[in-house]
Structure 1
């Protein structure tokens, strides 16, 4: 099963989710990420945070949803709403869910405050990914309605 984590810039949240999911996922599950308006670079604080957490960072890049290397089965948007951010809508026969997380790339303040914003986004995403991976995934693959319900519930954690 392939999961696409989708946001606007593909520099922070969707990259954090992709890397974390791939670090934790069982065999047969893979995440990719993309943006509707990619920044063209992964935010250095995202890479530093992942490295501190022991998650590999090699190969991650900010990329457009126009050139996906595979067709996703599940699309999870991770855009936030505090700044009036418009979340991209992926069209296609996939299970879709929204796991809103505020964009740490827009955090302001001291270095410690900005790092804290990145850590908050990471922790939210990791908690949701761990909740997803704790589900009976083999059963849910063939039960789209139940999978949808579970993904939407997890998005509120």
Structure 2
């Protein structure tokens, strides 16, 4: 493969990612989340609230990098109604998820997805981290593969209010 072909492939991939992440708002799947603390978060619980759903894994460096940002967003916006749900990928052993949640003292909801059905319902999520921002009407207004930018996320959250 020559340099021109490599550049063309990179440009095509960048355009695909940009398009995929800037699609118009669409309804979020109506799913329930079972947390590691035994709670069941239903669509009714989320009605009228902004929601951040992030798919992650305990062995994902980008996911670990995002944890302080998620904690900060939780502290800054939870009083305004923001719900953060971190969904562990189906291949992540539950004991690893529990240990990390405890070690990092995660203040937001952490859910397991042992069957992979949550990832499937959110568009067959395969890569971590993958983050979805839902507005107060339950529409996905942002989808990001890879580590999200904290400043951009704050701006998006402020725009929802």
When the two structures are superposed, what TM-score results if normalisation uses the length of structure 1?
A: 0.36
Greater Rg by CA: 2
Where is the strand percentage greater, Structure 1 or Structure 2?
Answer: 2
Where relative contact order (Cα < 8 A, 6+ residues apart) is larger, the structure is: 2
